[in-house]
Structure 1
Amino acid sequence: MRKRWVVHVGAGPWQASAIRRVKELGYRTLAIDGNPASIGFSIADDFLVADIGDVQGVAKAVLAYFGASSESPVAVVCTACEIGMLSAANLRQVYDLPGTKLNLARRLTNKGAQRSAWSLLASPKYFVSGGRDLPSESELAEFRTDKLIIKPVDSSGSRGITVVPRGELRAEHLEKALQFSKNGEVIIEEFIQGTEYTIESVRLAGTSYPVLVTKKGKVAGTESTVANVLKSFPLDECRAGKIGSLLQCAHDALGYQNGVCHTEVIEDIRGSFWLVETAGRGAGFGVSENFIKYASGYDYFEASLYFDLGLPVDIPPPKLPEIISAVRFMECIPGVFVDIVNESNFVVYPLLEPGTLMSSPKSDADRMAYFYVQGASEYEVDSKMSNILEKIKIKVEAR
């Protein structure tokens, strides 16, 4: 019996493990990526070089690939890959396959569409600009915060973000966000001061199950936009209730019924929670692939694959983990990366090749390595991270 085909949209470092795992499950894999040197191509049974952000281009390439045979894919997988979500959703629609379809994928990748769906929920006021358009004086007066945050409407990873005082907003402030916007739109919204959390969850038959809640630590000097720490956070009953209810309502409003979800919220100084954004995928940088299971025991990565493959998914444990776990990302510094000398007893996972040109961190992509720690308390985890960092030497050459 011939093995069935699964199409993987995206074949970079954070998709390679998905290709490997799906092959282990007994499928043949066709990987698609715009980079001819994608690491996943060496793992997949076959590959196509195509821009995964081009929805129609990807569909055309896949249809041509299977058009000459009697075979067709039985599933489409898109793991930790925001840019490929629309192309993957479109392929599922073309072949009538399980998983997120196109209309839902648009809501899960477009911040403006999410804000619109969340108009009755705790969501910051916003304005979507089609280029260099600014809010009118009356629209600007509706914003309740002293600062505004400007983002690409359809990009992830803190790319292209600027924070400005409300009274100083200018058209040139939109340029940075426009560089990272695929559809030429940016979103201007209230900047909520507070503690940012991420909630990794599973949505099963319309019910949201939180798997792990992490508190974000931010890189100094980045206006609280670039994260270098994710630390699990054992919620008290009050916080857990607020976050659980907000998460359920957010997914309901988007019409999200089944899948994994990566959601960001902010707790302000009054203890109120605000929706930032949500994504119908796992996070990159090894978070969905390894860290969530490390911290919670639940195989979130496998669940994300099973949703796309149309296989049964286990319900997560009813309680969040009590042990504190953290992933510490080592942000880039200006210079040419040479090596990491690790004299600690912990494994450090490098993200860069020697010779990579680095600059000061502007987005979550500006990371050179990461490591995991666990402890019985937040103090113990913080102490471990500090001790490890003292024993890691970064070799950098001047540009």
Structure 2
Amino acid sequence: MKRDHDTWLVAVTAGRWQTHGIRSAQAAGLRVMALDGDASAPGLAIADAFAVVDIRSPDAVEKALRDSGIQPGGAIAFVSEAGMASAGHLREIWDLPGPKRVLTERLLNKYQQRSIWDAAGLPNPQWIMAENLDQVLNALKSIGLPAIIKPVDSAGSRGVSRVDDLAMIPHAVEKALSFSPSGKILVESLMVGTEYAVDTFFHKSQAWILSVTGKVKVPGSGGTVAMELASPDLDPAVVDAIGKTAVDALLALGYEEGPGHTEIILCEGNRPGLVETAGRGGGFMVFDKMVPLASGYDLATACALQAVGREPPQVHFKRQAVVLRFFPTVPGVVRRLDGFDAASRLPGVEAAPFMEIGKVVSKADSDGDRLGYILAGAETLKVVRDLADRAEAMIHVEIN
């Protein structure tokens, strides 16, 4: 497509999971200015212009953009929680399309989400906000154990713990506070059931449910780190209820434009319970690979065009079953990591490592603790699971 040299999209964050969005924006004819605090971020090398800047500082990001002399047509953080506040700030200052500062704060702050969802009558667990160990202990007197302790403002499962006894609480509080820029955490009653991710796209207040995938969690992670996302084997009415809950949650926050990534627990009696939501795409292959494979919709291009005030492609579903499977880390040194190329030659399969031989790794504690992935798509869940299993059998991982 012919490039539009007058329309600039500012991509706040330019790491690995942002590169697909940057390339999609360029393929759609836009010019991209990429911002990241890491000078080696791969998105900087492919952007039309870039600046190395602290993306968590809206003022620093604004200054970098002004210094560039570029007049932005839009700002976006494709799958980056860290870049959302600065992107919202740029939209506010330049009056760009998309969520401004107040709405962006709601999309980032789990305390605000819980409060708004309570007021809207949406399915929350019991919850209390706290700032220190004493407040957490007091909250647990009414919430009880087991419980979830998590930061109000983190992403990627960072700082999230399940606590089953009193001895676990001090470490869980310390961990949650270490990942909370605001110094605030949530204590929540445990919702028992299978967790689902719902990926959506909103345009002019209309919502499309692009994918609903069930999660398999890493053993020993307290149910906080996923090792697989897959199309669900559920009654379609239940899948619809899960998707509707995600849509209602985002609409309650006032979110009517952009991608959404919402996590929901399906509790006893097929009752959806809200975990959290974000006004961005999901990382680790979800936004750029899994959702387009499951839905047939080019979400990255849609988000890029929408961010500069243009019409996104019309939604025409071409659905199929998907499995996105990860290899979680265990403590040690990566000694062997091969077979991904052979697995990728299977029909409908893509596989690749995230890490290299010699990497020192620890127990899987967040979404970043993954060695590699398998992504498979097929007409039915049975076929796609068989494909993923065949691919996994071809891959060899050794850590010691």
TM-score normalised according to structure 2 size: 0.90
Residues matched between the structures, number: 389
Question: What secondary structure sits across from 1:22 in the alignment?
Answer: helix
**Which residues in structure 2 correspond to 1:315-326 (within 5 Å)?**
315-317=314-316, 321=319, 323-326=320-323
Unpaired runs of 5+ residues, structure 2, are: none
Return 308-317 or 294-303, whichever deviates more. Answer: 308-317
* 1:41 aligns to 2:40 (yes or no): no
Cα gap change, 1:260 to 1:218, in 2 (>3 Å): same
**1:22 counterpart residue number:** 25
**1:228 counterpart residue number:** 227
Tell me which protein shows more helix as a share of its residues. Answer: 2
Q: Is the 8 A contact 2:140 2:187 kept in 1?
A: no
Identity %: 34
Cα gap change, 1:240 to 1:103, in 2 (>3 Å): same
Amino acid aligned to 1:124: P
Cα RMSD (Å):
2.2
Amino acid aligned to 1:276: V
Query: 2 CA distance for matches of 1:16 and 1:240?
Result: 31
Q: Is the 8 A contact 1:211 1:316 kept in 2?
A: no
Q: CA deviation at 1:57?
A: 1.7
Cα gap change, 1:391 to 1:170, in 2 (>3 Å): closer
* 1:127 aligns to 2:124 (yes or no): no
Query: 2 CA distance for matches of 1:367 and 1:7?
Result: 29
Q: CA deviation at 1:134?
A: 1.7
**1:181 counterpart residue number:** 180
Question: What secondary structure sits across from 2:62 in the alignment?
Answer: helix
Query: 1 CA distance for matches of 2:257 and 2:222?
Result: 34
Query: 2 CA distance for matches of 1:234 and 1:310?
Result: 38
Question: What secondary structure sits across from 1:37 in the alignment?
Answer: coil
Q: CA deviation at 1:388?
A: 2.0
Unpaired runs of 5+ residues, structure 1, are: none
Return the match for 1:12 from 3, 10, 15: 15
Q: CA deviation at 1:389?
A: 1.7
**2:396 counterpart residue number:** 393
Question: What secondary structure sits across from 2:92 in the alignment?
Answer: helix
Q: Is the 8 A contact 1:152 1:177 kept in 2?
A: yes
Cα gap change, 1:390 to 1:10, in 2 (>3 Å): same
Q: Is the 8 A contact 1:133 1:171 kept in 2?
A: no
Amino acid aligned to 1:18: G
Q: CA deviation at 1:34?
A: 0.6
Query: 2 CA distance for matches of 1:309 and 1:176?
Result: 38
Query: 2 CA distance for matches of 1:257 and 1:340?
Result: 43
Amino acid aligned to 1:42: A
Q: Is the 8 A contact 1:341 1:393 kept in 2?
A: yes
Cα gap change, 1:177 to 1:281, in 2 (>3 Å): same
Return 297-306 or 31-40, whichever deviates more. Answer: 297-306
Query: 2 CA distance for matches of 1:181 and 1:146?
Result: 22
* 1:327 aligns to 2:330 (yes or no): no
Q: CA deviation at 1:38?
A: 0.9
Amino acid aligned to 2:157: S
Question: What secondary structure sits across from 1:134 in the alignment?
Answer: helix
Cα gap change, 1:131 to 1:51, in 2 (>3 Å): farther
**1:287 counterpart residue number:** 286
Q: Is the 8 A contact 2:210 2:294 kept in 1?
A: no
TM-score normalised according to structure 1 size: 0.90
Q: Is the 8 A contact 2:24 2:300 kept in 1?
A: no
Question: What secondary structure sits across from 2:135 in the alignment?
Answer: coil
